């Protein structure tokens, strides 16, 4: 296989090692499915993987390396990029109980994977679930992966998109109280989300002329101001601006209509205004198989659609389906990026 046709290298971070991250990474790689489409490189430390393999009686030969030059990507073993300074003692790894040491390691694994992506030496990163509260306690000043990766890459405009069962939904606001959402919406924020959706579909998924639908905030899209005026004040001007710049955008559309039309293929993606507006239809359709994508970064990043699941960590029942799908989407985005590139 020549250099031009070799499978891309995709980093898989373990997430919080006290949660299900190591288990789903291990199960995904033992299944062999990621290896069919890429060269997976686990970014983490050995004990987090070997202890779950031992406890679940899984055969998982691990080859540790400290540089990409040492990585062999043999089909019968797991390639582990061992990040210096993150080796964890057994006392720091109790199932279902976060620790400062585990949080610091999880942060460094994400940072190292991002640096490898930024160097151009690997093609994408897929992140395991982290514990945001535990990270905040060690001085992590970012709400989550998305903002941290944007900081590391110097990205000024970025967003969170969710995919599943053939639908794509971009968020305008993310982890905000429902009460605060109306005050956080501005013409500029909605326009930026539309722009990110359009550019992401073109540059990462190879969609030449994206069609985008924008959800309304209020019932019946406000009913001409009867149920709220955010549609008139914010959404319609943002949509008008998008269309004036050549972005094919429709809305605001009542959410109970938009997501049905999205599923039917009328739009390539939808823009939702708040977290649950997007995640309820997505998880109804694709629970356990949905994928979180960060758009606006200079590299491909995908993630699972679930958290650390402390309640089932270490029990051997975690489903790797979302992680496997996140790897598939990452490779799809790599291929879409090549298609969108000049001469690609």
**In this structure, are 163 and 38 located in the same domain?**
no
**In this structure, are 245 and 322 located in the same domain?**
no
pLDDT at 4: 45
CATH number at residue 2: 3.40.718.10
**In this structure, are 15 and 71 located in the same domain?**
yes
Q: Which residues contact 230 (CB under 8 A, 6 or more apart)?
A: 182, 185, 217, 218, 222
**In this structure, are 251 and 197 located in the same domain?**
yes
Q: Could you give the 3-state DSSP secondary structure of residue 8?
A: coil
**In this structure, are 34 and 95 located in the same domain?**
yes
pLDDT at 5: 61
Burial track 312-341 (b if 16+ CB lie within 10 A, e otherwise): bbbeeebbbbbbbbbbbbbbbbbbbbeebe
**In this structure, are 162 and 204 located in the same domain?**
yes
**In this structure, are 75 and 197 located in the same domain?**
no
**In this structure, are 196 and 303 located in the same domain?**
no
Residue 220's domain comprises: 158-294
pLDDT at 243: 97
**In this structure, are 66 and 132 located in the same domain?**
yes
Final residue before a domain boundary, out of 294, 316, 331: 294
Question: What's the domain count of the chain?
Answer: 2
Residues written for the chain? 344
Burial track 135-159 (b if 16+ CB lie within 10 A, e otherwise): beeeebebebbbbbbbebbebeebb
**In this structure, are 138 and 45 located in the same domain?**
yes
Q: Which of 2, 179, 182, 17 is CA-nearest to residue 89?
A: 17
Q: Which of 85, 141, 134, 81 is CA-nearest to residue 108?
A: 85
**In this structure, are 134 and 12 located in the same domain?**
yes
Q: Is 182 exposed, middle or buried (0-12, 13-18, 19+ CB in 10 A)?
A: middle
Q: What is the full per-residue pLDDT of the chain (344 aa) written as tens digits?
A: 334 468 999 999 999 999 999 999 999 999 999 999 999 999 999 999 999 999 999 988 999 999 999 998 988 899 999 999 999 988 889 999 999 999 999 999 999 999 999 999 999 999 999 999 999 999 999 988 999 999 999 999 999 999 999 999 999 998 899 999 999 999 999 999 999 999 999 999 999 999 999 999 999 987 888 888 999 999 999 999 999 999 999 999 999 999 999 999 999 999 999 999 999 999 999 988 999 999 999 999 999 989 999 999 999 999 999 999 999 999 999 998 766 555 44
Pairing, β 159-164 against β 248-253: unpaired
**In this structure, are 115 and 211 located in the same domain?**
no
């Amino acid at each position: 296989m020549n250099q031009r046709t070799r499978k891309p290298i995709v980093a898989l971070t373990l997430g919080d090692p006290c949660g299900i991250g190591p288990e789903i990474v291990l199960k995904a790689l033992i299944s062999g499915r990621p290896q069919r489409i890429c060269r997976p490189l686990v970014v983490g430390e050995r004990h987090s993987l070997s202890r779950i393999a031992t406890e679940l009686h899984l055969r998982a030969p691990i080859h540790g390396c400290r540089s990409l030059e040492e990585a062999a990507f043999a089909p019968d073993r797991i390639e582990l990029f061992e990040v210096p300074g993150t080796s964890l003692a057994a006392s720091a790894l109790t199932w279902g109980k976060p620790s400062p040491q585990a949080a610091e390691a999880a942060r460094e694994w994400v940072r190292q994977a991002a640096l490898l992506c930024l160097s151009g030496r690997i093609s994408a990163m897929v992140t395991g679930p982290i514990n945001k509260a535990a990270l905040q306690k060690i001085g992590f000043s970012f709400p989550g992966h998305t903002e941290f990766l944007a900081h590391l890459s110097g990205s000024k405009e970025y967003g969170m998109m969710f995919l599943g069962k053939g639908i794509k939904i971009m968020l305008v606001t993310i982890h905000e109280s429902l009460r605060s959402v109306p005050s956080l919406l501005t013409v500029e924020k909605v326009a930026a989300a539309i722009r990110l959706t359009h550019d992401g579909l073109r540059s990462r998924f190879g969609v030449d002329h994206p069609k985008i639908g924008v959800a309304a905030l209020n019932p019946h899209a406000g009913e001409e101001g009867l149920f709220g005026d955010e549609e008139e004040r914010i959404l319609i001007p943002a949509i008008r601006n998008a269309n004036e710049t050549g972005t094919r955008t429709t809305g605001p559309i009542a959410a109970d209509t938009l997501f049905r039309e999205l599923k039917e293929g009328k739009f390539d993606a939808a823009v939702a205004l708040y977290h649950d507006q997007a995640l309820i239809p997505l998880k109804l359709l694709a629970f356990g198989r949905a994928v979180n994508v960060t758009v606006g970064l200079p590299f491909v990043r995908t993630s699972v659609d679930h958290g650390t699941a402390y309640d089932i960590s270490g029990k051997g029942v975690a489903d790797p389906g979302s992680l496997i799908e996140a790897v598939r989407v990452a490779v799809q985005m790599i291929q879409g990026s090549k298609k969108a590139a000049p001469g690609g």
